[in-house]
Amino acid sequence: MARMNEGRPMSTGRVGGRLGLISFTAVLFFTVVGGPYGIEPVVQSAGPLLAIVLILVTPLIWSVPTALMVAELSAAIPVPGGYYAWVKRALGSFWGFQEAWWSWLVSFVDMGIYPVLFGAYGSAVFRDITGVDWFVSDAGRWMLATVLIWTVVGANLLGARVAGWLAGVAGVLVVTPFIAMAWMAVEGFSSFDAVVGSWSGGPPSGQGTAGALGAGLFLVMWNYQGWDGVATVNGEVRRPGRTIPVALGIVVVLSMLTYLLPVLAALTVTSDPAAWGEGAFPALAGAIGGEGLRFAVAVGAVIGVAGLFNANMLSNSRIPMALGEDHYLPPLLAKANARTGAPTASLILSGVLFTFIALVDFTSLAVIDVVVYSATLLLEFFALLVLRIREPRIIRPFRVPGGIPGIALVTALPMILLGLAIVNEVADGGAEVLGISAAVLATGPVAWFGLTIAFKRGRPNRPVPVDLEGMVRHGAYDPTMAWTPRMPPSFRVGTTLAERAGARVPVHRRGGIVSQVEA
């Protein structure tokens, strides 16, 4: 009989710092959106009308299918590690590692950008407040970025509850100026027809519809991605079977409104794509509501970037923790604070890495980000399908509707959209960027081989626990029979196969499972 994975099950993460519906929704909002900042280049690249269409249609093809998949898997397997645990249980250790490794690499891009953006936005705000020009220097920006990194690390060390509460407060502060901006913009127009007329601008001059679509699609997909990111803290969510699907539904709607309403409002000022560069919202808000609104939107940008960094630190710091539990990284990274559940060593490592990454001058990395993220997404959809077929008795508080055909549909939609974006990118001369994306993906097998030799050394993975109807929780991972029914007292743990002669019952054995004993 082949040796099965043994060892203690992955921790459930259920400690004092739990996330309720409001705090989890806030963390998810900042993992995916964090405010409309970053959507301006879509208008610049695609033109007003096509940008509006992309903002409305992309979430239906990209976000909703992903949210449905995340809702089912998160509610069924709410353990720390999230997507890593799903893929590991469904597809095995190798593909589980690829999922975690690729996700961690993507996080370096995102988590490196946020402190840099915070330094850029924050330097202008602090200069306006203090009158000191040093804040806009390179040293001043890096200092602000470093302050953000270690403030967020400190907040996360206090546990998920504190990080979730901060995300909720930040969400209110970010959204409020844009609500005021939209209200003032509508009041300033004499008729609805005039408002609609401001949206009718076409692509930038000299660019056709196909080129505009290719330029804008990756940017919109990047702004709408990240639905699975918060799954790494599922083990710290209160009543995950109900909380996670509800929060996902709320944030799908909020994400569309957060991008759409500010764009519609700002288009009443100008529909010229040239005026819609990165960071254009404060100036556009000033044209609508004066200096006070401009400053409020600029401050909101600082808070929004900080909120994005906070939420992503909460989720991404659990990746090295999960890999440490399975011995792919030093075991110190697997340790969590007994009181707060925070992965102390993993958070400190993340803080050090991001402090150095903040020194790098990032350019547009949306294409690489989306391609690598899509590879992780494909593994998650495949895990959804495999688990639905192979383990139908897993308790699923939420299910993707439509059975297997429904799963096939929600898998196909985002992959078709990705294919369209790649075709347009190649047509626009972006094959080199796609080659870099392929090279990033190729590091996964290399890292798996190297880290297996360096740290794992034959030690087993921690099993992924689930609940089955009529079964008791047991952590062992077995592709054909991962859970055991309640044992009669005579079937004690550790007894031998000979002692069970004649039985045809699955039995426990040192945290693993011995298959049915033949009479």
Instruction: Give the closest residue to 38 by CA, choosing from 252, 323, 345, 258.
Output: 258
Q: Per the domain annotation, does 235 fall within a domain?
A: yes
Helix H, strand E, coil C: the string for 165-217 is HHHHHHHHHHHHHHHHHHHHHHHCCCCHHHHHHCCCCCCCCCCCHHHHHHHHH
- CA atoms of 54 and 58, how far apart (whole Å): 5
* 265 and 329 co-located in one domain: yes
Supply 346's token pair: 């993993």
Confidence of residue 256 (pLDDT cuts 50, 70, 90): very high
pLDDT of 409-428, one tens digit each? 999 999 898 888 777 767 66
Instruction: Give the closest residue to 361 by CA, choosing from 186, 141, 68, 127.
Output: 141
Q: Contact, 286 vs 294, CB < 8 A?
A: yes
pLDDT of 111-141, one tens digit each? 777 777 777 777 778 888 888 888 778 788 8
- Other C-beta atoms closer than 10 Å to the C-beta of 464 total 23
Return the pLDDT at 518.
30
Q: Give the structural domain span for 481.
A: 470-519
Helix H, strand E, coil C: the string for 87-135 is HHHHHCHHHHHHHHHHHHHHHHHHHHHHHHHHHHHHHHHHHHHHCCHHH
| Residue 9: pLDDT over 60 | no
Return the pLDDT at 505.
36
- CA atoms of 49 and 452, how far apart (whole Å): 51
- Other C-beta atoms closer than 10 Å to the C-beta of 235 total 25
- What mean pLDDT, rounded, does the chain reach? 77
| Residue 212: pLDDT over 50 | yes
Contacts of 47 (CB under 8 A, 6+ apart): 201, 202, 203, 204, 212, 273
Q: Contact, 231 vs 85, CB < 8 A?
A: no
* 493 and 443 co-located in one domain: no
| Residue 399: pLDDT over 80 | yes
* 52 and 159 co-located in one domain: yes
Return the pLDDT at 448.
93
* 399 and 512 co-located in one domain: no
Q: Per the domain annotation, does 252 fall within a domain?
A: yes
* 509 and 372 co-located in one domain: no
Q: Per the domain annotation, does 364 fall within a domain?
A: yes
* 143 and 174 co-located in one domain: yes
Q: Which residues of 259-294 are buried (b: 16+ CB within 10 A; e: fewer)?
A: bbbbbbbbbbbbbebebbeebbbbbbbbbbbeeebb
pLDDT of 318-359, one tens digit each? 888 888 889 898 888 878 777 777 788 888 888 888 787 766
| Residue 58: pLDDT over 70 | yes
pLDDT of 466-518, one tens digit each? 777 655 444 433 333 333 233 333 333 333 333 333 333 333 333 333 333 23
| Residue 265: pLDDT over 70 | yes
* 414 and 518 co-located in one domain: no
Provide the percentage of residues in the chain whose pLDDT is more than 70.
79
* 436 and 482 co-located in one domain: no
Q: Per the domain annotation, does 382 fall within a domain?
A: yes
**Between the CA of residue 423 and those of 46, 61, 217, 498, what are the distances in Å?**
16, 17, 11, 61
Which residues share a beta bridge with 419? none
* 255 and 111 co-located in one domain: yes
Burial class (CB in 10 A: 0-12, 13-18, 19+), 459: middle
User: Which of 22-31, 208-217, 278-287, 384-393 is most confident?
Assistant: 384-393
Residue 237, φ and ψ in degrees, nearest 5: -100, 135
What is the residue whose two structure tokens read 């959507």?
Answer: 39
- pTM, rounded to two decimals: 0.76
Which residues share a beta bridge with 514? 507
Q: Per the domain annotation, does 7 fall within a domain?
A: no
* 333 and 481 co-located in one domain: no
Going by their DSSP bridges, the two strands 507-509 and 512-514 should be labelled as: antiparallel
Q: Domain count for the chain, please give it.
A: 2
Helix (H, G, I), strand (E, B) or coil at 513: strand
Q: Per the domain annotation, does 12 fall within a domain?
A: no
Q: Per the domain annotation, does 13 fall within a domain?
A: no
Q: Per the domain annotation, does 436 fall within a domain?
A: yes
Please name the residue ranges forming H helices in 229-316. Answer: 240-267, 281-316
Mean pLDDT of 64-82: 89
Mean pLDDT of 217-223: 85
- CA atoms of 132 and 126, how far apart (whole Å): 8
Q: Contact, 349 vs 268, CB < 8 A?
A: no
* 201 and 282 co-located in one domain: yes
* 477 and 446 co-located in one domain: no
Q: Contact, 158 vs 13, CB < 8 A?
A: no
Q: Domain boundary residue among 410, 430, 456?
A: 456
